[in-house]
Amino acid sequence: MPPLASFRATIAPFARPLRRIEWWPRTRRRWRYLRDGMAGIAAELHTTSSGHVSILRQFGATVGADVDIPGPLLIVNAGDGFSNLTIGSNVHLGAGTLIDLAEAVAIEDYATISMRSNIITHLDVGPGPLKERRPRATGPVRIGRGAYLGAGATILHGVTVGAEATVGAHALVDRDVPAGATVASPRARLVAGQGP
């Protein structure tokens, strides 16, 4: 067994009860914030296996009850905190979801955001020559009550996905989706060769 794994196995019985002490994780995160700023807290969301809701609330997000975030969560452009993020109750954010907080993001009750989905609130081409033709654009994003985003879906700035709308896997959404509607990206099709 590698030395680090052996060390973890040795201290695990003693360290496990510390996870149940309410003040310990909050205090540790405060120190991380003092040391690394919001970049450190965002890194913590990306690397931790649990406690995402607690971290979001501690640093300013509004998060309802029974929110499920099973894996890494990527938050960018958080500024001084997560106050631009509102998540309703009974929401699922799949592993690897990316949320850009340059503008407000609201995810309403019972919405499901599948793994590796992206919610983008700004467009910025950087300092290069395109800056003149494509100036920075921002806009809030709202995911309606009971809406579903399939794996790898991307919602761009200024878009509202209506209540109980469905966005198919890997769809790129650049305009509002009406309540109850379904949008999807093209399916793969055979262009050469023989099928079975």
Dump pLDDT digits (tens) for 128-181.
899 889 999 999 999 999 999 999 999 999 999 999 999 999 999 999 999 999
Dump pLDDT digits (tens) for 4-25.
778 777 877 766 555 554 556 6
Say what the pLDDT of residue 3 is.
81
Provide the β-strand partners of residue 97. Answer: 73
> Rounded to the nearest 5°, which phi and psi values hold at 134?
-130, 80
**143 close to 108: Cβ distance less than 8 angstroms:** yes
Q: What percent of the chain has pLDDT over 90?
A: 61
What letter does residue 68 receive in the DSSP assignment?
Answer: B
Tokens of 129: 């020559």
Q: Is 89 a residue whose pLDDT tops 60?
A: yes
For 17-183, CATH gives 2.160.10.10
What is the Rg, in whole angstroms, of the alpha carbon atoms belonging to the chain?
A: 20
Burial (CB count within 10 angstroms: exposed 0-12, middle 13-18, buried 19+), residue 12: exposed
Domain boundaries, the chain: 17-183
Question: Maximum CA pair distance of the chain?
Answer: 62
Q: In terms of DSSP bridges, do strands 92-93 and 112-113 run parallel, antiparallel, or are they unpaired?
A: parallel
Please give the mean pLDDT across all residues of the chain: 89
Question: Which H helix or E strand runs over 60?
Answer: none
Report CA 174 to chain centroid distance, whole Å. Answer: 18
Q: What percent of the chain has pLDDT over 70?
A: 91
Say what the pLDDT of residue 6 is.
80
